[in-house]
């Protein structure tokens, strides 16, 4: 059975086509600058990378091009081979606690939640509508970034603000990167051979979030009402004193939206280093003696360590600490420096086992009280697996 995972942005469309019998990617692609001039796509298939410039005035055209190329390249012989499509949807509010088959009611809800994710949910809807138009008889599933975190207790997800803000406007912690955290959580269960465990998952990429997991369910997570909260990220500030916002508004003559935009796009590693948001640029700057790059890196390490320590206490211990996503999977020295600071918790790493990138490996130290792993994430596969489960159980 072939299942497609789709992630639609405002001017982009990503897909991965899986053979579910083997869970292998048959092909993947990225359609860029959709609705803009100079639109193009790249498709990876059978070890090759194909790139073509083609005018795509909207997402429907992008989907038409995608499906046409899948057949022309011989990736599939017929559209009938695609038996299900899973869509990444950023926000499901607290209504959707798991993935669901897409119905008209689900589409209405996704649209209703756009005030919570104004940059993402409308774009996700565009992708869903385009696929629905092209493949009207294929079942589709919405996989929500926020769903996995909806097992948090009220004392964890509420903010200490007027309670009416929650009841009237939905102001609460939602959490994001849920598909990645769920995938890694499932892998942890496989590794340990049990669903009874305590884990801390560190999804560290250009965006980053940590989650505290007990018995496969999220207890707490770092991102909040929006993805701006939590640890320091590539361009996002993470946690700050909210009084900074009106202060900077007054000092710089900016409105609230403009300040929040700077906290989202000009802060984090970029804001501190002045060099870039990519950690590889920070590492290069550190090698060249750039003190601001070293400062940015140390602040990032510290922000992660603080949350690990907090979640260790919240969980009452930790069976496994897992690193995942771009930095977590590939930044060797970065992982080591984080674990080095966790020694007071009895967490150590075997540095001789840490010299690798992008593989599932255990790097636990000899006397560590907690297992330490690198577990590559696969959000696209998680979307496909949820899609398969739901269409089989219709």
Mean pLDDT computed over 185-212? 96
Task: Write down the mean pLDDT value for the chain.
Answer: 95
- Say which range, 32-46, 243-257, 291-305, 363-377, has the weakest mean pLDDT: 32-46
Label each residue of 1-44 as H, E or C. Answer: CEEEEEEEECCEEEEEEEECCCCEEEEEEEEECCCCCCCEEEEE
- Confidence tier at 9 by pLDDT (50, 70, 90): confident
Shared-domain flag, residues 91 and 216 = no
Residue 66 DSSP code? H
- Confidence tier at 115 by pLDDT (50, 70, 90): confident
Asked whether residue 253 is domain-assigned, the answer is: yes
Q: Distance between CA 15 and CA 318 in Å, rounded?
A: 35
Given this model, what pLDDT does residue 116 score? 86
User: Pick from 77, 112, 144: which residue ends a domain?
Assistant: 144
Beta carbons of 28 and 44 less than 8 angstroms apart:
yes
Asked whether residue 393 is domain-assigned, the answer is: no
Asked whether residue 104 is domain-assigned, the answer is: yes
Residue 349 DSSP code? B
CA distances from 262 to 136, 228, 266, 274 (A): 41, 11, 5, 13
Beta carbons of 336 and 284 less than 8 angstroms apart:
no
Shared-domain flag, residues 133 and 204 = no
Q: Which of 276, 323, 311, 314 is nearest to 296 (CA)?
A: 276
Q: Which of 97, 127, 95 is nearest to 109 (CA)?
A: 95
Q: pLDDT higher for 116 or 249?
A: 249
Q: Which of 204, 165, 159 is nearest to 184 (CA)?
A: 204
Given this model, what pLDDT does residue 117 score? 84
Asked whether residue 182 is domain-assigned, the answer is: no
CA distances from 185 to 98, 120, 217, 281, 385 (A): 15, 25, 8, 30, 14
Shared-domain flag, residues 332 and 248 = yes
Asked whether residue 155 is domain-assigned, the answer is: no
The boundaries of the domain holding residue 255 are 193-379
Shared-domain flag, residues 198 and 279 = yes
Task: At 106, list the tokens.
Answer: 């689900």
* Residue among 145, 281, 297, 386 flagged as catalytic: 145
- Confidence tier at 330 by pLDDT (50, 70, 90): very high
Q: Distance between CA 115 and CA 133 in Å, rounded?
A: 25
Q: What is the pLDDT of residues 271-287, one digit of tens each?
A: 999 999 999 999 999 99
Given this model, what pLDDT does residue 125 score? 92
Task: At 11, list the tokens.
Answer: 């001017």
Shared-domain flag, residues 89 and 206 = no
Beta carbons of 229 and 351 less than 8 angstroms apart:
no
Shared-domain flag, residues 132 and 208 = no
Asked whether residue 25 is domain-assigned, the answer is: yes
Asked whether residue 177 is domain-assigned, the answer is: no
Q: Which of 102, 87, 81, 101 is nearest to 20 (CA)?
A: 81
Is the pLDDT at 49 greater than 80, yes or no? yes
Q: pLDDT higher for 84 or 117?
A: 84
Shared-domain flag, residues 221 and 123 = no
Q: What is the pLDDT of residues 135-163, one digit of tens each?
A: 999 999 999 999 999 999 999 999 999 99
Shared-domain flag, residues 246 and 366 = yes
CA distances from 363 to 317, 336, 353, 355, 377 (A): 19, 10, 5, 9, 17
Tell me the backbone φ, ψ of residue 154, rounded to 5 degrees: -60, -35
Shared-domain flag, residues 134 and 25 = yes
Shared-domain flag, residues 232 and 337 = yes
Shared-domain flag, residues 273 and 349 = yes
Asked whether residue 159 is domain-assigned, the answer is: no
User: Pick from 144, 173, 204: which residue ends a domain?
Assistant: 144
Is the pLDDT at 114 greater than 90, yes or no? no
Total tally of structural domains belonging to the chain:
2
367 flagged as catalytic:
no
Q: Is 369 helix (H, G, I), strand (E, B) or coil?
A: coil
CATH number at residue 34: 3.30.420.40
Shared-domain flag, residues 283 and 136 = no
Q: Is 152 helix (H, G, I), strand (E, B) or coil?
A: coil
- Say which range, 8-12, 20-24, 189-193, has the weakest mean pLDDT: 8-12
């Amino acid at each position: 059975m072939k299942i497609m995972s789709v992630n639609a942005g405002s001017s982009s469309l990503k897909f991965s086509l899986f053979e579910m019998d083997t869970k292998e990617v048959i092909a993947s692609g990225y359609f860029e600058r959709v609705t803009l001039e100079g639109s193009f796509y790249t498709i990876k298939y059978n070890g090759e990378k194909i790139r073509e410039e083609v005018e795509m005035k909207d997402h429907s055209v992008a989907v038409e091009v995608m499906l046409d190329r899948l057949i022309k390249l011989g990736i599939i012989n017929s559209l009938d081979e695609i038996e299900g499509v899973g869509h990444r949807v950023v926000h499901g509010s607290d209504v959707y606690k798991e993935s669901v088959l897409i119905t008209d009611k689900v589409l209405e809800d996704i649209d209703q939640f756009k005030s919570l994710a104004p940059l993402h949910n409308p774009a996700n809807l565009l992708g869903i509508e385009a696929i629905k138009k092209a493949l009207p008889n294929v079942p589709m599933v919405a996989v929500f970034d926020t769903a996995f975190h909806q097992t948090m207790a009220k004392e964890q997800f509420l903010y200490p603000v007027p309670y009416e803000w929650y009841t009237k406007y939905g102001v609460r912690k939602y959490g994001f990167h849920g598909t990645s955290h769920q995938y890694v959580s499932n892998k942890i269960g496989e590794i340990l051979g049990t669903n009874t465990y305590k884990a801390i998952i560190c999804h560290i990429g250009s965006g980053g979030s940590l989650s505290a997991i007990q018995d496969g369910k999220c207890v707490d997570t770092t991102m909040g009402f929006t993805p701006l909260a939590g640890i320091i990220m590539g361009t996002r500030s993470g946690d700050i004193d909210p009084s900074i916002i009106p202060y900077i508004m007054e000092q710089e003559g900016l409105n609230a939206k403009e300040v929040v935009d700077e906290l989202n796009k000009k802060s984090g590693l970029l804001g501190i280093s002045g060099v870039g948001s990519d950690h590889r640029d920070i590492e290069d700057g550190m090698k060249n003696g750039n003190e601001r790059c070293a400062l940015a890196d140390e602040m990032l390490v510290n922000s992660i360590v603080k949350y690990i320590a907090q979640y260790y206490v919240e969980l009452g211990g930790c069976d496994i600490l897992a690193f995942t996503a771009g930095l977590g999977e590939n930044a060797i020295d970065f992982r080591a420096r984080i674990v080095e600071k966790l020694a007071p918790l009895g967490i150590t790493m075997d540095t001789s086992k840490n010299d690798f990138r992008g593989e599932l490996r255990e790097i636990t130290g000899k006397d560590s009280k907690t297992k330490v792993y690198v577990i590559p994430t696969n959000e696209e596969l998680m979307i496909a697996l949820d899609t398969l489960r739901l269409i089989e159980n219709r």
